[in-house]
Structure 1
Amino acid sequence: MAAVRRVAVIGAGASGLPSTKTCVEEGLDTVCLERADEVGGLWRFTKKVVEGRSCVMKSTVMNTSKEMSCFSDFPPPKDFPNFMQHDVAQKYFRAYADHFDLDRHIRYNTEVTKVRQADDYVRTGRWVVESIDHKSGKKSTDTFDAVLVCSGHHAEKNLPEVPGISEFEGPVIHSHDYRPDSEHDDKKILVVGLGNSAGDLAVELSRKGKQVFLSTRKGTWIFHCYMFRGMPWDMCLNTRFEFWKNSCLPFSWVEAKMAATLNQTIDHDLYGLTPACMPFSHSPFVNDELGGRIICGAVKVKDDLQRLTTSGVEFKDGSFEDIDVVLMATGYTIGFPFMEKEVVDIEKNQLKFYKQMFQPDLQHQTLAFIGCVQPSGCIWPICELQARLAVSVFKGAVKLPPRDDMWKEIEANESMRSSRYPNTIRHTLEIDWLPTMDELAEMIGCKPNIGRLVLTDPKLALRVLFGPCLPYQYRLEGPGRWSGARDAVLSFMDRVRFPLQSRALPPNRRSGLVKTAEWVLFPSFSWVVFLELLVLALLLLVLCRG
C-alpha cells in the first residue's frame, strides 16, 4: 500500500469537521466535500425541504449537554446554554471551523456521486471520488489515498407499510419533510413513532393543533434534561465511577433502580408509556415537555396502528379516532448511495464494521466510516475519536487486528445487541457511550491513566474518576495532547453555572449550599464524600479504642 498523503472527507457536519481538522493537523492534504453551502450537516435547519438531506426541526434542542457534547480541544463558550438549540449548535460548528481554519479545505455545494476503488487499488489502496458542483454543474473525478465517509447514517426515510394508507384522504408526511406552518392549526394530528423526533413533534404540534395522538408500538422511558439537583442527565450518568459501580452489580438491579428513578417524575404505567424493555436496553428518550402535554390532554398516547381509513385511524386495541393529518416520525434507514455494494453491503439495516468504522474484508484499510453509531450519549465526541483513530490507521501509527479477529468482535457485538435491545431498525447501531470512548482512546493511546494521575495530580484524578467523563479527558496525554485539557476538566462547572445564574441571589436568600457543593451535585461525587466520612469514622474508632 502506498503512503497516505491525500484524503477525502465526505461531509462537513458533526463527523466531517473533526475528521477534516484531524487530517489537517496530521499534515495530510485534505479535501472535504460538502453538499450544502455551510457547515453543520444535520444540525443546520433549512426552511426548504431538500430530498436526501435530513435536518433538525425548527424547535429542536440538543438532548445532551454542551460539556458532554463538545470536541475535546474546543470547549463551548460559557454563555452557551447547557442544552443548545439547533442554531446555537450551528454557531458552535461555525466557531470550530473558523478557529481551526477549516474552510480553506472545504468544497461547498459539492455532492459526492460515487466512490470506487481505483484501478491500482490492489497495489496502492487508493480510491476514486466522483462529485458534482451544484453551483456550476461541473463534474469532477479525483483520486485519493484514503477516504473518510462522514455523511451520517440518516440516508433514506423509513416509511412502514400501514394498511389503508393509500385510502387516507389527508396528508401523510414524514418528519423529514415537516416544517412549521399554519396548515396544522386546529387539526387532529396523528404522530407515528416514539423516538426523540416524535416526542418533539408531538409537543410542538400540540400547541397549535386541536388534538395530537401519539401512536407507539413499544413505549419508552422518558429522561429529563436534568436529574440530580438539576444537573444535566448525561453528566450524572456518564462517569467512570458510575460505570464501574454498575458493572459490579447485577444488570437487572441497575436497570430496575433507574426505572424507579425515572418513575419518580412520571409514572410510566399511568401515562401508558412503559416499554417491554428496561431503561438501559433502549435508546435514551430525552424530553422535558411531553409529560406536561399528556397530563393536560393536548397529547394522547395510543397503541400501535391497525389501519388507516379515509378519515381516521384504528388502533390495535380496537379504539378509533378521527384525524386530519398523519406525521410519520419513523426514522431512517442506513444507506450510502455513492458507495458500491461490493464495498458496503447493508443487511437488515446493519453495518458490519469493526469499531463501527472499518470493513474487515477490504485488502487495504484506507476507507473509514465516521459517526455510524447510536450512543447512549452525544455522538460528536465519538466521531472525533473515530476520526483520530482512522487517521492513526491511515498513517500506520495504529495497526488493526487480523481480519478474522475483527469479524469475531463484530459478531460478539451483534450478539450483545440482539440480546439486550429490541429488534428494530432503530437499535442496530446501539453502543454504550463511555466504554466506546475508552476503547477508541486506548487504541489511539490517549486514554487517561488514572493510576498515574492519582500519584502526580490527585485533584485531576478525582475529577476524571468521579466526575463526568468530559471529552477533554482524551487530550490529557498521548497523541494529540492539548495543553488546555487539564484546565478544561477542572473548570467545567464554571461553564455549567454561568448560563444558569442570570439572577444573582442575595446572601440571605441562598439555600445554604456553598460553592464546594459541586462535589455532591453528582452521584459519583457523593460517593467521594461518603468514602471520606467512612474513613474519618474508622480513624475516630481506632483513636477511641487506642
Structure 2
Amino acid sequence: MVKRVAVVGAGCSGLPTIKCCLDEGLEPTCFERTDDIGGLWRFKEEPEEGRASIYNSVISNTSKEMTCYSDFPFPEDYPNYMHNSKLLQYFRLYAEKFSLLKCIKFKTTVVSIRKCPDFSSTGQWEVISECNGQQEKAIFDAVLICTGHHSTENLPLHSFPGIENFKGQYLHSRQYKSPHPFKNKRIIVIGIGNTAVDLVVELSSVAKQVFLSTRRGAWIVNRVWYNGFPLDTVQSTRFHSFIQGIIPSLTNKYFEIKANARVNHDNYGLRPEHRFLSQQPTVSDDLPNRIIAGKVLLKTNVKNFTETDVIFEDGTVERDIDVVVFATGYVFSFPFLEESVLKVKSNEVSLYKMIFPPDLEKPTLACVGYIQPSGAIMPIAEIQARWATRVYFKSDRHTLQVSYVGYMDEIATEIGCKPDVKQVMLTDPKLGWELLFGPCTPYQYRLFGPGKWKEARQTILTQMGRIIKPTRTRVLSYHQTATNFFPLSFKLIGIIIILVALYVLL
C-alpha cells in the first residue's frame, strides 16, 4: 500500500521534500499557508504572518553551483550570486520539471498534528488543516515539517532599557523592505549578521548617518574569493574539510589572514573574540567601503535609550536618533505540535542528526531544513529529505550550525550515496581530482547509490564553465582560463596525500 506523507511548507525545503517522496513511491500532500511556492525567497511588499520576509534587494550568499538541488542545476546563464527573483524563478522551473504543484494545497494552514491513538503500532498522525475557514482532518503515515526557522522575529526589547520611552521609530529587520522611507535619517542598526550588514550598507546610501551596533563583532568576507571565484566554491571542498579536520588552528589562521588582508578587523572595530571557523562569517561586499567613507560607524552594544538618544556600553552617546532597526534574528516554534513530540528551548531543538525527534516510538516525523550550515541550505534540506523519505519507505518502525561538507557526507552515508573518493581516484582520476579539490557541489551525491543521476559526472566536470560563463560577458581575444581553485602549495600537499592514499590502497 502506498504510504501517505504530509509535507508542511512549500519553500526551499518543502519542494525537494515533495520530490523525494515521489521518488520513493510515496504519496505526498503539501500544506502551504500562502498562495504560492518559494517561502523565504518570495518577496512581498508587506510581511505575511507566519512566513519569512525579505527586503527587495536580497541576493544569495551562496553561489548557484553550491546552492542547487543535486539533480537540477541552475541555468548556466544565471549569475553566480542570485537576486531573490532568480531563485524564485528556479523554484518554479524545479516544480514544473518534477510536477510538484499537483501535490500542494495552497492557502491551507496546518492547525494541529497529533499522534493517532494506535501510534505505537502504526506510526500514523492525525493532521488537521484549515482552508477558507473550513477545517479538514486526515490520517498520514508520516509527516515532514519544512516551515523553516526565519518566520517569527526575535525582538528582545527587554534587553534594551528605555526603549519604551524612545520617541523615534523602531522596527525589526523583517519589516524592512527598501531604504527610501529612511532618507536623511540618523539610524542605528543592531546586530552584525548578514541581514544587519546588508541593511547598513543599503541605508547608508540615503541616510544622514548610519551606526552599526554590535556586541561581539564578526569576521567579514567577500562573495568574491581567490582568483575571482565564488567564496563557497573555494571554501567548501573535501580537501579544505580534510585539512580543517586535522589542523584546525592553521586553517583558522589561513582564513583570518585572508579576511584581514582585505580589511584589518582590528582597525575597523570588527574583530570578534571567536576564531574564523567557530561561527559563520558575515558576507558583505561593501561594508568596509562604507566604513572607510564614514557612511557607517561601528558602535559597541547599546546600554540604554532615552527619548531621543542612544547610550552605548563604552559610554559614548549618539543624539537625535530617528530610527532603530533590530536585526536580531528569529525564533522558531512548532505551534501545531505537542511539546511532548518536539520542544523548542532557547531556540534549540533536540533532533537526531538534525532531522528526527529522538524519543518517538516510530521514526515517522522529521524536520527538514532546521539547520544553519556553513554553506547553502537547499542541498542540505534535499539530502535530509532523501534520507527521511527512505526511512519512511523502508521502516516499520545542539545548535543548528553544522559544517557543510561534513554534514552532507554524514547524511549521504546513511543513504548510501557518499562518493568513495579514493576509489574514484583509481578508476576515474579526472573525476576524482574534481571531487577532492573542486567545490563539493550537490551533484557529488548523485554519482552513486539510491537516487543515482546519470548526468552527475558530466555535470561535475562542466561546473567550472557554468561558474565562469555569467561573468565572461566580454570575451577577450587573449586569456588564460583559470580552472584551478588553489595555490600551488595546496596542490602539492594534495598530490602528496593522493599518492599516499594510492600507496595504502595498492
Please report the TM-score for the alignment, with normalisation by the length of structure 1.
Answer: 0.88
CA distance in 1, matches of 2:423, 2:339: 47
* Corresponding position of 2:141: 145
CA-based RMSD of the aligned residues comes to 1.9
* Corresponding position of 1:521: 485
Aligned pair 1:498/2:498, yes or no?
Answer: no
CA distance in 1, matches of 2:164, 2:498: 70
* Corresponding position of 2:502: none
CA distance in 1, matches of 2:153, 2:212: 19
How many residues align? The count is 496
CA distance in 1, matches of 2:117, 2:498: 68
CA distance in 1, matches of 2:188, 2:342: 36
Q: Secondary structure at the match of 1:21?
A: helix
Residues 531/281 of structure 1: CA separation in 2 closer, same or farther (3 Å cut)? closer
Of 218, 221, 227 in structure 1, the residue corresponding to residue 225 of structure 2 is 227
CA distance in 1, matches of 2:180, 2:459: 45
* Pairing 1:315-394 to 2, within 5 Å after superposition: 315-322=312-319, 323-394=321-392
Q: Secondary structure at the match of 2:470?
A: helix
Aligned pair 1:301/2:305, yes or no?
Answer: no
* Corresponding position of 1:542: none
Contact 1:313/1:321 (<8 A) preserved: yes
Residues 388/533 of structure 1: CA separation in 2 closer, same or farther (3 Å cut)? closer
Aligned pair 1:216/2:225, yes or no?
Answer: no
Letter matched to residue 355 of structure 1: K
CA distance in 1, matches of 2:110, 2:55: 25
Deviation at 1:529, TM superposition (A): 5.9
CA distance in 2, matches of 1:283, 1:238: 13
Of 438, 454, 457 in structure 2, the residue corresponding to residue 483 of structure 1 is 454
* Corresponding position of 2:268: 271
CA distance in 2, matches of 1:127, 1:40: 26
Query: What is the CA deviation profile of residues 21-49 of structure 1, one whole-angstrom value per residue up to 9, with x for unaligned ones?
Result: 00012111110111121111011110012
Deviation at 1:179, TM superposition (A): 2.0
* Corresponding position of 1:405: none
Deviation at 1:480, TM superposition (A): 0.2
Deviation at 1:321, TM superposition (A): 0.6
CA distance in 2, matches of 1:175, 1:535: 48
Query: Which blocks of at least 5 consecutive residues in structure 2 are unaligned?
Result: 500-506
Residues 240/533 of structure 1: CA separation in 2 closer, same or farther (3 Å cut)? closer
CA distance in 1, matches of 2:497, 2:393: 50
Letter matched to residue 31 of structure 2: L
Residues 111/305 of structure 1: CA separation in 2 closer, same or farther (3 Å cut)? same
Contact 1:4/1:146 (<8 A) preserved: no
Deviation at 1:456, TM superposition (A): 2.0
Deviation at 1:285, TM superposition (A): 0.9
* Pairing 1:111-150 to 2, within 5 Å after superposition: 111-133=109-131, 136-150=132-146
Q: Secondary structure at the match of 1:18?
A: helix
CA distance in 2, matches of 1:348, 1:48: 28
* Corresponding position of 2:285: 288
Contact 2:2/2:27 (<8 A) preserved: no
Of 125, 150, 157 in structure 2, the residue corresponding to residue 154 of structure 1 is 150
Residues 526/483 of structure 1: CA separation in 2 closer, same or farther (3 Å cut)? farther
Please report the TM-score for the alignment, with normalisation by the length of structure 2.
Answer: 0.95
* Corresponding position of 1:89: 87
Residues 307/5 of structure 1: CA separation in 2 closer, same or farther (3 Å cut)? same
Contact 1:82/1:496 (<8 A) preserved: yes
Deviation at 1:531, TM superposition (A): 6.4
Of 415, 430, 435 in structure 1, the residue corresponding to residue 406 of structure 2 is 435
CA distance in 1, matches of 2:269, 2:391: 48
Percentage of matched positions with identical amino acids: 45
Query: Which blocks of at least 5 consecutive residues in structure 1 are unaligned?
Result: 401-413, 415-427, 537-546
Deviation at 1:138, TM superposition (A): 2.1
* Pairing 1:72-111 to 2, within 5 Å after superposition: 72-111=70-109
Residues 44/534 of structure 1: CA separation in 2 closer, same or farther (3 Å cut)? closer
* Corresponding position of 1:260: 257
Contact 1:189/1:325 (<8 A) preserved: yes
Find runs of 4+ consecutive structure 1 residues off by over 3 angstroms.
Answer: 525-536
* Corresponding position of 2:503: none
CA distance in 2, matches of 1:61, 1:181: 16
CA distance in 1, matches of 2:420, 2:372: 27
Residues 502/526 of structure 1: CA separation in 2 closer, same or farther (3 Å cut)? farther
Deviation at 1:430, TM superposition (A): 1.0
CA distance in 1, matches of 2:181, 2:422: 60
* Corresponding position of 2:309: 312
CA distance in 2, matches of 1:476, 1:503: 34
Deviation at 1:151, TM superposition (A): 0.3
Contact 2:44/2:53 (<8 A) preserved: yes
Contact 2:179/2:206 (<8 A) preserved: no
